[in-house]
């Protein structure tokens, strides 16, 4: 049986397949070139003669003979090498004395070590450059304007409000949101002096960021940071009726009405409504709102919106004007049957108030708390080497028709395996809220500030991903990450193609991640890898003499065997993941 020459799929498939292969070649080619160029440039710096610079293995399809180095591109883009003169002691000793001076083994151990280290170092520099470039070309950045202030947080306790602009922390001025975020995050449980502006007036108060820990379910990303209960980005002008007998309810506003204008002025954020109400002097206000109505279909939750004009006259309470409305984000818009939410007795229209005694006015912080607590339980169980179902339980407080209720809430933790047999977890709540968030205000980011920011961000992001991958290797050795997740060229090709089709930025980000991965793998103390060569140099330094030929030969054989086994296993995983495609091809016969 032979494969048919007719492809029933559209011609665009061939183009897509060709582009996918091209993305793979570009990604692998860049990674190999950067790695080998690191070795090459440092070898040249220490006057080591380089005989060949090769990208790929096997027969060459392009070559160029330089003054002393042959530059080659081979047909198998699965690696590369820099062939240096005198790479082993025996060949060096057989050379004329003049040639020996430019041999690798004639150089001091520290120089040889730097030459070997330069390859992985180049792979670590590449993501720094990529992340630096992304940040450098962002000509604007969020202003230090508070979008939301969370209930019971340190910021609420000192009287901060949405719309406040942070201008200083201790003796340092603040111009951008990331400056405030970085300082607060690093200063948990340490008192700071926070300065902000509101309506042209300057306010200042002492605040102590709370310590907040978070983790993913594998423990790859574990963070400890300080929070004062502020959030970038405002909640939109979608309203809920906090007072069922208030002015808004009396005059015709409904739950989840989206305010688009008041007295002819456009409204984009909820805090703008509050400001307009206070400025009204108690006079009637003309609202233009979008009211939503459910479309009765079985296959989805669909709604349509109708524009309405509503005249609302604020009430005066304790010297302030109010409509009896609040942000809608903590109100449930949907509760599914036979889910954790329905079993707890929750219903659409209920307002989530607190979790385990802690009040919440931010839906994202509320759900993050549940997710993080579940992740911590999973990490704790796996680190103990135990096997049991995760059954979280929380004390949930909610409000219904003005009355407070407290229930025990037990979300369901579902498990599933992906195509690499890695276990994942999903929390099933069976509820939904009304998300309406407004992007933060951006300000100009001058080049000088951008250079400093981009440099720092490039290094920080590279280190974060490096640390995550190193922890991932430990988790792999512990059996907490499935060995089926180890992939070879086919997986890399799939990732490159997916990222390439998504655009230049996703492709470069994927390039950066695989470059970090390549650097870490090459630093493993396995003979024939860079890490193994550094180990041999370290032993040579300890011994104060060269390692015997027999020892180096055995180490090389072991290293080659280990690498071959790893490659075979990676290919096996690639084939098993894509076996259904092979079956599909034969089934079209």
With the CA atoms of 537, 539, 544 and 548 taken in that order, what torsion angle do they form, in degrees rounded to the nearest 10? Answer: -90
Q: Are residues 228 and 263 in the same domain?
A: no
Query: Which segments within 410-488 are labelled E, that is strand?
Result: 412-417, 423-428, 431-433, 437-438, 442-444
Mark whether 36 is an active-site residue: yes
pLDDT band at residue 116 using 50, 70 and 90 as cut-offs: very high
207-221 pLDDT tens trace: 999 999 999 888 888
Query: What's the pLDDT at 580?
Result: 60
Nearest-angstrom CA–CA distance, 494 and 572:
15
Q: Are residues 427 and 361 in the same domain?
A: yes
pLDDT at position 5 over 60 = no
pTM: 0.85
Query: What's the pLDDT at 12?
Result: 42
Bridge partner list, 288: 261, 309
400 CB-near residues (< 8 Å, 6+ apart): 347, 349, 350, 351
Structural domain containing residue 187: 141-232
Comparison of pLDDT for 89 and 54, the residue scoring more: 54
In residues, how long is the chain? 589
Q: Are residues 132 and 28 in the same domain?
A: yes
Q: What is the mean pLDDT of residues 141-158?
A: 92
Burial of 400 per CB tally in 10 Å (0-12, 13-18, 19+): middle
Residue 332 lies inside a defined structural domain of this protein? no
User: What token pair was written down for 404?
Assistant: 């407070």
CATH code, 315: 2.30.42.10
Query: What's the pLDDT at 544?
Result: 84
Among residues 438, 464, 481, the one where a domain terminates is 438
Q: Are residues 48 and 111 in the same domain?
A: yes
pLDDT at position 266 over 90 = yes
Average pLDDT taken over every residue of the chain: 88
Among residues 185, 205, 232, the one where a domain terminates is 232
CB 547 within 8 A of CB 461: no
Q: Are residues 275 and 323 in the same domain?
A: yes
Among residues 438, 456, 479, the one where a domain terminates is 438
Nearest-angstrom CA–CA distance, 573 and 486:
7
Query: What's the pLDDT at 130?
Result: 97
Q: What is the mean pLDDT of residues 445-466?
A: 95
pLDDT at position 101 over 70 = yes
pLDDT at position 517 over 70 = yes
Count CB neighbours of 29 within 10 A.
15
Q: Are residues 354 and 296 in the same domain?
A: no
495-515 pLDDT tens trace: 888 898 889 999 999 999 999
Residue 488 lies inside a defined structural domain of this protein? no
pLDDT band at residue 1 using 50, 70 and 90 as cut-offs: very low
Q: Are residues 219 and 262 in the same domain?
A: no
Residue 457 lies inside a defined structural domain of this protein? no
Nearest-angstrom CA–CA distance, 192 and 344:
41
Which one of the listed residues 36, 326, 327, 397 is annotated catalytic?
36
């Amino acid at each position: 049986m032979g494969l048919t020459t007719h492809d029933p799929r559209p011609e665009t498939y061939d183009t897509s397949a060709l582009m996918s292969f091209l993305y793979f070649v570009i990604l692998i080619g860049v990674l190999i070139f950067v790695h080998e160029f690191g070795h090459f440039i440092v070898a040249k710096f220490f006057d080591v003669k380089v005989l060949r610079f090769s990208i790929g293995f096997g027969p060459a399809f392009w070559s160029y003979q330089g003054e002393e180095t042959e530059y080659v591109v081979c047909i198998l883009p699965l690696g590369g090498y820099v062939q240096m003169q005198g790479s082993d002691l025996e060949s060096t000793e057989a050379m004329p004395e003049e040639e020996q001076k430019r041999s690798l083994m004639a150089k001091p151990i520290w120089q040889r070590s730097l030459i070997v280290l330069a390859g992985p170092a180049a792979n670590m520099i590449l993501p720094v450059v990529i992340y630096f470039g992304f940040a450098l070309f962002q000509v604007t950045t969020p202003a230090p304007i508070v979008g939301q202030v969370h209930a019971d947080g340190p910021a609420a306790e000192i009287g901060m409000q949405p719309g406040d602009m942070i201008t200083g922390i201790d003796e340092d001025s603040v111009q951008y949101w990331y400056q405030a975020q970085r300082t607060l995050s690093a200063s948990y449980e340490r008192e700071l002096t926070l300065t902000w502006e509101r309506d042209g007036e300057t306010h200042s108060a002492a605040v102590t960021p709370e310590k907040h820990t978070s983790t993913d379910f594998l423990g790859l990303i574990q963070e400890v940071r300080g929070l004062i209960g502020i959030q970038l980005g405002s909640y939109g002008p979608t309203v809920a009726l906090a007072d069922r007998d208030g002015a808004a309810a009396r005059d015709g506003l409904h739950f989840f009405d989206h305010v688009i204008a008041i007295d002819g002025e456009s409204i984009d954020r909820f805090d703008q409504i509050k400001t307009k109400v206070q400025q009204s002097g108690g006079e009637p206000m003309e609202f233009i709102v979008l009211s939503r109505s459910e479309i009765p279909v079985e296959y989805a939750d669909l709604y349509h919106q109708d524009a309405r004009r509503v005249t609302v006259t604020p009430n005066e309470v304790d010297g302030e004007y109010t409509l009896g409305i609040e942000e809608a984000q903590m109100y449930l818009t949907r509760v599914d049957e036979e889910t954790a939410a329905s079993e707890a007795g929750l219903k659409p229209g209920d307002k989530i108030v607190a979790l385990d005694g802690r009040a919440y006015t931010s839906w994202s912080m509320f759900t993050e708390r549940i997710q993080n607590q579940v992740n911590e339980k999973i990490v704790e169980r796996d680190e103990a080497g135990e096997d049991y179902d995760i059954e979280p339980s929380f004390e949930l407080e909610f409000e219904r028709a003005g009355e407070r209720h407290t229930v025990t809430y037990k979300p369901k933790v579902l498990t599933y395996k992906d195509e690499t047999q890695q276990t994942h977890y999903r929390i099933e709540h069976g509820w939904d809220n009304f998300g309406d968030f407004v992007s933060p205000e951006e300000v100009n980011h001058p080049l000088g500030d951008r250079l400093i920011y981009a440099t720092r961000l490039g290094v920080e992001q590279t280190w974060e991903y490096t640390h995550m991958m190193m922890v991932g290797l430990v988790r792999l050795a512990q059996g907490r990450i499935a060995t089926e997740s180890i992939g070879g060229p086919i997986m890399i090709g799939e990732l490159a193609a997916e990222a390439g089709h998504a655009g230049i930025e996703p492709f470069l980000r994927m390039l950066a991640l695989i470059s970090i991965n390549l650097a870490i793998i090459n630093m493993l103390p396995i003979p024939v890898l860079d890490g193994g060569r550094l180990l041999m140099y370290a032993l040579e330094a300890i011994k104060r003499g060269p390692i015997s030929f027999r020892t180096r030969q055995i180490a090389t054989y072991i290293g080659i065997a280990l690498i071959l086994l790893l490659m075979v296993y990676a290919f096996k995983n690639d084939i098993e993941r894509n076996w259904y495609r092979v079956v599909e091809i034969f089934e079209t016969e």
